[in-house]
Amino acid sequence: MVTGLALSLGTLAQRYNEGGVSIRNARGERNRSIYHKLQLGVLAPGTMPARKNVWYTKALDPAVSGKANIVPLTLQYAWSSNVNTEFLIHAGFEQVKYYSENNPGQSDHTRNFASLLIGVNYKWWQQKYITLYSGLLIGGGVGRYAIAKDDIVDPTFETDRTNWAYPSAQLTAIGANFGQKVGGFCEIAFGSKGIVNGGVYWRF
């Protein structure tokens, strides 16, 4: 009986050392799934073309949808406390120039768009260096009217010169993270934040 008990204890100890005991493995997996992440990305085609609903069907009208003056940027913070989900705070910025039909080569005014959204990603396929996920963001944005130094106002240009506020939402059909602590990401999405979002992240 003593010999049998010793053999059983020896077998259990071997399984523990090899990772066979689920308590240790579960605790290690849980610790690895708790993290913070910052990511910086660029959008295409951008927030405003998406809002005007002309990005799929025809060329943009610079008097209505404007032209991007800088590359649309995104900054996102993610926090995860389990293996499958990330909770998100997403911010975006872009600057758009508008042109009158009478003077298409000279910008009439500028709008600075800033958005803030919250959401969640669900990680549905994970390997050591790649993770695939889908997600949803909901929030809003503002478009601040401004006259920049290089703008010349056309008094005949009939356009809305007020500040705008608008709802914003984005459904990420599929996204991918590449790397571990530092890496890249790419997303294919639908909504008011463009179709493609890609960039780099830092996980800590």
> pLDDT tens across 75-122, in order?
999 999 999 999 999 999 999 999 999 999 999 999 999 999 999 999
Same domain, 50 and 28: no
Q: What is the pLDDT of residue 31?
A: 52
Same domain, 26 and 124: no
Query: Structurally, how many domains does the chain consist of?
Result: 2
Same domain, 103 and 167: yes
Domain of 29, in residue numbers: 1-33
Same domain, 130 and 182: yes
Same domain, 27 and 104: no
Please give the C-alpha separations between residue 56 and each of 34, 172, 185, 190, 195, in angstroms, as whole numbers: 39, 18, 24, 12, 10
Same domain, 51 and 141: yes
Residues 6+ apart with CB under 8 A from 20: 14
Same domain, 22 and 60: no
Cα 63 to chain center, whole Å? 28
Q: Does the CA dihedral 9-10-11-17 come out positive or negative?
A: positive
CATH label of the domain that carries residue 71: 2.40.160.20
Percentage of residues in the chain having pLDDT higher than 90: 64
Beta bridge partners of 199: 41, 185
